[in-house]
Amino acid sequence: MQETPKRFVTVAVDGGAAAGKSSTSRAVAERFGLMHVDTGAHYRTVALALTRAGISPGDTGAITAFLGIGGSTGDSAGDAVGGTTGDATARLTTVVEGRTARLAIDGVAPADAALRAPEINAVVSPFAAVPAVRQFLFAYQRGQVAVARERGFNGLVMEGRDIGSVILPDADLRVFLEADPEARAARRVAEGGVDAVAERDKRDSSRKTAPLVCPAGAVRIDNTHLSLAEVVEEIARLITALR
C-alpha cells in the first residue's frame, strides 16, 4: 500500500557497487510515491555515448568537446538543455517511465541492457573520475528535485556515490548502504553480471573529485544479513519520522 509522506521529501542513497542501492531506492519510491533517479545510470549513459563516439577516458580534450561543457543547467522546466561550448552540444532531457526518471542525451535514453553491459562496467568508473564528466551532470542532477515536483511526485529518491555529500547535501534523509564485498560480488554474479565490484569501489573511493564517502549525517545501513524488505522498512521508518 502506498503511503503519503507529510510533505515533499528528498532522500539520498549512497553506497558502493552492488550494495543494493537500486532495488532499495525503487522499493522506497514505490512505497512513498517518489520519483527515482539512478545517477549511476547517468554516468553509464555518458560512458556509453563517449564509447560509441570512440572516445576513451584518458582523452579529456575529446570528452570536453563531445559534451560541449560550458552551460549544462538541467531541464527542470522540461526543456532540453546542454553544454554549448565549441561545435558540440549535448542536450540533456528527462524521460519519466513509471516512477523512474531516465537521462536522455540528444534524445537517446539507452536501454538498461546496454548501460549494464560488461564493456560499460569496465569504463564507467574511469569516465566518472573525469571532472568534466561530473561537471556536465552536476546541475542536471540537482535539477531533478524540481522535475519531481513538477511531475507531481511526493518527493525524490536519488541514488549514487556523491548524492548526500555533493549533489543533495541538504536531502531530508541521507542513507549509506553497505554490505560485505563477498556479498556484493555474489549479488552481481546472481544478477548475471560481469563486474569487478571491488576494483570499481577502489577507484570510486580514491578519486579526487566527489569520491565515494559516507556523507555527514547519513544513516549507515549494513545490509549483508538483511533482506530487501527489512532495509526498506528501516528507511520507511526514517521517512515517516521526518517533520
Stretch of 29-37, 83-91, 120-128, 226-234 contacting ligand CDP, by CB under 6 A: 120-128
Q: Out of 29, 36, 40, 110, which residue is the one contacting ligand CDP (CB under 6 A)?
A: 40
Nearest approach, Cβ of residue 163 and ligand CDP (Å): 6
Between residues 81 and 137, which has the closer beta carbon with respect to ligand CDP? 137
Least Å distance, CB 4 to ligand CDP, is 28
Alpha-carbon distances of 113 from 21, 63, 110, 154, 178, rounded to whole Å:
18, 23, 8, 29, 25
Residues 196-215 that bind ligand CDP (CB under 6 A): 200, 204
For the chain, where are the alpha helices, taking DSSP H only? Answer: 21-32, 39-52, 60-67, 112-115, 118-128, 131-142, 144-150, 181-190, 197-206, 228-240
Count Cα atoms within 13 angstroms, Cβ side, for 63. 20
d(CA 21, CA 162): 13
Burial 24-49 (b: 16+ CB within 10 A, else e): bbbbbbebbebbbbbbbbbbbbbbbb
Smallest distance, Å, CB 103 to ligand CDP? Answer: 12
Determine the 3-state secondary structure of 85 from DSSP.
coil
Residue 20 binding ligand CDP, by CB under 6 A: no
When binding is defined by CB under 6 A, the residue of 26, 31, 36, 44 that contacts ligand CDP is: 44
- Rule CB under 6 A: choose which of 32, 43, 136, 153 binds ligand CDP: 43
The phi, psi pair for 186, rounded to 5°, reads -65, -35
What is the Cα–Cα distance from 122 to 125, expressed in whole angstroms?
Answer: 7
Q: Give me the 143-182 binding string for ligand CDP, x by CB under 6 A, dash otherwise.
A: -----------------xxxx-------------------
CB of 79 to ligand CDP, least distance (A): 24
Beta partners for 219?
Answer: 175
Residue 162 beta carbon to ligand CDP: minimum distance, rounded to whole angstroms: 5
Residues forming contacts to ligand CDP in the complex (CB under 6 A) are 17-18, 21-22, 39-40, 43-44, 124-125, 128, 160-163, 200, 204
